[in-house]
Amino acid sequence: MSDVSSPNSAAQAEAPAAISLEFFPPRDNAAQERLVRTAKQLVAVGPSYVSVTFGAGGSTREGTLNTVRTLQGLGYEVAPHLSCVGSTLDSLSETLASYRKAGIRRLVALRGDMPSGMGDMGELRYASDLVRFIREESGDWFHIEVAAYPEMHPQAAGPDADLTHFVNKMNAGANGAITQYFFNADAYFDFLDRATAKGVLAPIVPGIMPITNHSQLARFSDMCGAEIPRWIRLRLASYGDDKASIRAFGQDVMVELCQTLLDSGAPGLHFYTMNSPDATLGIWKQLEL
């Protein structure tokens, strides 16, 4: 088991826990209305910022910027995701300029996924290249978050190679990191210890995925490499189509995980809201943050 009293854990525990939220661009008017309702309800959480996802190969670039403007209008500080796969340097430069013009001071810099049918990786291959490019283009204008994978990126050659990629992103100029979601606190603290040993002292915030739908969670987890522990899978399967029981059990699981993370020094929590308020609000209220 990881030693949760590592230097990074201790340093992160000195500051109060920061809450942040992730939204994704809506695809139609009904989804837009749902996003606005959700965002208004989640103001109660008092997030330090919210992030907005960016589709494969930048496929939701305009949607991301429109969603950023909507959330800014509701009083949020917003950090759009920016991915480099499939993008040219000129298009990335244009996007950065548009974000600066919109008063955006935070970004989540990612390699991103190739959209189906696209064969050109673009001019930047790794997220570390993107972070370096942002710094070259914009200096210290943006606070940059990058991704971390406590259970290893599904395409990584191995844990050590994955850690090397993460350290490269931090050394390229990132200010902090948000993890892929997980359900095993030991995985997070083990990753934290290994990153600390490589000289990473910046905040690494756990990503939190509320459990509300068994089949959806299983599908997402298969894609991103997040392990659902056997006991959780079996309990979820036992509820069948009983949505109320799934949500109640899921909330209990996530509250316990979040409390363990915070008690052991995590600097905050980043909630993947799925553009729905209830699960995030339920966890937040029970944590009494």
**Active-site residue 137, yes or no?**
no
Q: How buried is residue 56: exposed, middle or buried, by Cβ count under 10 Å (0-12/13-18/19+)? A: middle
Residue from 14, 22, 33, 288 carrying the catalytic annotation: 22
Residues near 26 by beta carbon (within 8 Å), at least 6 away in sequence: 32, 34, 35, 63, 67, 275
End-to-end CA distance of the chain: 27
d(CA 56, CA 150): 22
CB 67 within 8 A of CB 38: no
**Per-residue three-class SS string for 53-119:** CCCHHHCCHHHHHHHHHHHHHCCCCEEEEEECCCCCHHHHHHHHHHHHHCCCCEEEEECCCCCCCCC
Distance, CA of 193 to chain centre:
20
Cα distances (angstroms) measured from residue 82 to each of 186, 249, 263 = 29, 34, 32
The residue type of 120 is: D
Structure tokens that stand for 19 in this block: 């809450």
Enzyme catalytic residues: 22
